[in-house]
Structure formats: C-alpha cells, structure tokens
Amino acid sequence: MATTRIMPLHTGKGRTESQAVSDIIDYVANPQKTDNGRLVTGFACDSRVADAEFLLAKREYISTTGRVRGADDVLAYHVRQSFVPGEITPEEANRLGVEFAKRFTKGNHAFVVCTHIDKSHIHNHIIWNAVNVNCDRKFRNFWGSTRAVRRLNDTICVENGYSIVEDPKPHGKSYNKWLGDQAKPSHREQLRVMIDQALEQKPADFDGLLRLFASVLGESVGHYINRRRLYRASEKLIYSGQRIIDIAFDSGFESPEGFSRAFKAAFGVSPVDYRKAGIDSVLTAKKELYPEDVAHIANNISHSPEILSLEAMKIAGLRGKTTLSDNQLPGLWNQFIKLHKELLTSSGLGISVCETQQTTYTKNGDVSFSVLIGCPVDSFELLPQTMAFKTLNAGRYAVFTHRGALTNLLKTYQYIYGTWLQSTKEELDDREDFEIYEHDVLSMDDLNSEVKILIPIK
C-alpha cells in the first residue's frame, strides 16, 4: 500500500469556508468514482452532509473556546491511500481506510472514507474534520507526520496480509513503476531514460550534462514535468466535460487553488477563463519530450540561432496544402523541379514558406497549413501565370540550422517553439517562417541534409 503525506485544507482565495469543504467532499464522494456512493463511509457524521457538519463543528468550537483564526485556518485534513491492482477488493479497501482513519485520529475526529475505482488501481480518499467530536480541540499536523502515516499504514497492511513498500526511499521507484508494467511510464521514468540517452552523448562532466539538459528541455527537469501536466490539464479543460476540481486532483495538485495559481502562471489566465475562451495554446504549451529526441536536439540543431536582418524577398513557385501527419512536400518539390528546374538551378536556393495565416489546428493534434515552395526571383514579370508568387517582408529573423534526416524536421520545430521561444527574450513577429535549402535533397532520410529555418522576430 502507498500513501501520501497529510494535506491540510484551507479556505483559499475567492472561496468561502463552505465552498472549500464542499468542493473537496464533492470530489472524493463523486458517485462515478465510488460505485454510486456505495463505497463512501462516514464516521461520527452523515457522509451525505459531512461538509455542513464539519462547518457546524467549527462554529461550535469557536463558541466554546473563543479561538478564531484567519484565512490560514485549517478546515480539514486529506490523506490518499493506493493499493496494488488485483490485490484487494473495493469493499476491503474501504474497510482498511476506515481502520486507518480511526486509529490515526484515535476516534476523536469525524471523517469520511471514499474508495475510488475509476482508475487502474483502487485508492481511498480520507477526509477528517480538523475539529474533534467534542468541539473543544483541533487536530494539529506535526513534524514527522508523513512517517507516522506510513508506519501506521504498513502496520495495518501487515496485519491484514497485504503488501507494503519495503524500505521506501525518496528517489526510489515511482509509484507507476511500482504498480507494474501495465501502468504508463511516468514523466520521471521517461526522464531517467533521457538521462541514459544524454550520457551516450558523452558530456565532459556533470556541468556538461546539465548544460545538455538545459538545451534540450529549455528549463529544469522539475519545471518540465510541471509544464507537461499543466498542458495535459489544459487539453482536458478544452476537450472534456470534467469539473475543474476533478482536473486539478487528477493532474496531481493537492488543491484547486494550487492548480489555479500554477495554471495562471503558465498560461496567463485562470482555468475558468481558459475553458470559456476555448482556445488550445499550441505554441506556448510544453509538448511531451521523448528519450529518442535527446540525441537529435543535442547534435542536429543549432541551439543559439544567428540573428539576421533581411531585406524583402520575392518568391515564385507552387502552392499546396500539407499536414504534419501526411507530408505532401516531397511531391510538391518533385513537381516544381520537373516544371521549373532551370529557374531553381539559376537561383541556387530552394525556399519553402509556411503560410501561417492559413494554418488550422485539429482536435487530434494535427496541423494543416498552406505552403509555397519555390526559389527567389528578381521580378515576377515574364514568369508563367501558373506559378504562385509571394513577397517575404523585410525584418529580423532567428536562423536555426537543422542537420540530418528531414523526417526529424518536426522535432526541430518543436524545439524552436516549445523550448527556445519560451526561454528567449526575443518575441515572435507576425510574419511567415520559411526554410532555405542550399543543397539538393536526395531523400527524406538523407542524414547529410541541411536546412536553414528562419523564424520571424520583432
């Protein structure tokens, strides 16, 4: 059995005491998670109105003792218990949760135990009132409470014949790892693999390893994990009907207030306003990074771009549509070379322009956009009318170099927009980005390919 530390419940900003207690009780007693409420047990309270009874006990406590605290007052305490899949029934899990709560609070505090069965592993949420049943004392969290929770938890497990986490260490297996191979690898597990991949790049020392990860992630490992879970939460806000409090807890936050603060810091708006706007922040979100990306980002991308000021450039070529999942560019280039090879040869440069004003983002994460491929020309006069024309405006550009197979080009763009753009002081300008091909491309898998990517900046 695994547990978390004791989590105190405060009022929080913008909520009344009643709302704060109701929110947490409503979440843990959710009928969809507790078999229509069958797996909810109350002690010294009616679980159906536990929030009201908790608040009445607090008012009685104030009346009896005269002690009043401010907004930092603790209303209740929350502990989570999780069990190995297949080892325990929901009813037995609920019984052990009740036993844990009674023994930990010595039967002096009202509590509810809610057993959730909506995940691959059965787990309990235990909420107990900060005020005791006599309304004359309050539970006080104490130094070492996490160890005390774990010790009692393990004792109950052993007494009832269930497994425990032997000799838990702060940097041991993640809980998903402990659950078994059926669980999806956590971000931390993926990062462990990334470290192995990074070490294969043979950094000179530990500082070199840190610099490598800084260039790949664009931030600390902890910040990367936090931004990933916030991005997943943002997807749920747009594409699911889940309540915000459910999304907060499912995303690993201990309270809706903590989730709201972190979300606003990352996206600039509250979760409520983000959901109302209904806009998925594609560019500013931190996309998931996979271990195999490390070598490509470390070796095949210029991490510090060259900043250039370019004059306006006339481009003539062919226009077409493509998506990230179904790349139509090779066919478009073949068609252009077949029809206008002399023009391309005389220019010496191939240009591919992503026409961002005609870009659409689909719900499944794909991107459809218009593209113009061709070459620079001095004038649009005397050119075939079947050709498409465009003038790229003058301005500043951040110039990146992509080396290697063009099948990895998307990873380079994800690094530029998801890592470099989030850490640089430069600001994206409202002009098209484009690619420059100075050499013939033999195939999409040609490891000797080299492409200049020009990102418009202010």
Q: List, as one string, the DSSP characters of 369-434.
A: EEEEEEEE-S-STTS-TTSEEEEEPPEEEEEEEEES-GGGHHHHHHHIIIIIHHH-S--B-SS--E
- How far CA 25 is from CA of 108, 162, 453, in Å, comes to 20, 28, 52
Residue type, 346: S
* pLDDT per residue as tens digits for the range 263-313: 887 777 888 888 877 655 444 444 555 555 555 556 667 667 889 999 999
**Neighbour-count burial for 252-288, b at 16+ CB within 10 Å, e otherwise:** ebbbbbebbebbeebbeebbeebbeeeebeeeebbbe
Q: Check: CB of residue 264 under 8 Å from CB of residue 270.
A: yes
- pLDDT of the residue at 284: 46
Question: Taken in order 211, 216, 220, 221, is the CA torsion positive or negative?
Answer: negative
Low-confidence residues of the chain, pLDDT below 70? 1-5, 12-14, 71, 165-225, 227-228, 278-300, 302-303, 324-325, 356-367, 418, 422, 441-443
The pLDDT of residue 194 is 55
Report the 10 Å Cβ neighbour count for 382: 6
* Residue 84 CB-density burial (10 A; 0-12 exposed, 13-18 middle, 19+ buried): middle
Instruction: Enumerate long-range contacts of 202-207, CB under 8 Å, 24 or more apart.
Output: none
Q: Which of 155, 157, 29 is nearest to 84 (CA)?
A: 157
Instruction: Report pLDDT for 336.
Output: 83
- One DSSP character per residue, 125-188 reads EEEEESB-TTSS-B----TTHHHHHHHHHHHHHHHHT----SS--TTS--HHHHH-TTSPPPHH
For 222, phi then psi, to 5°, come to -60, -45
| Distance (Å, whole) CA 18 – CA 12 | 11
Number of H helices, E strands in the chain: 15, 14
**Bridge partners of 114?**
40, 125
Is residue 400 within 8 Å of 416, Cβ to Cβ?
yes
Give residue 283's pLDDT.
Answer: 41
Q: What is the pTM of this model?
A: 0.46
Task: Report helix, strand or coil for 232.
Answer: helix
Please tell me the predicted confidence (pLDDT) of residue 77. 93
- Residue 288 CB partners (closer than 8 Å, separation 6+): 228
Which residue segments constitute the domains of the chain, with CATH numbers given? 2-160 (3.30.930.30), 187-277 (1.10.10.60), 300-457 (3.20.80.10)
CB atoms within 10 A of CB 143: 7
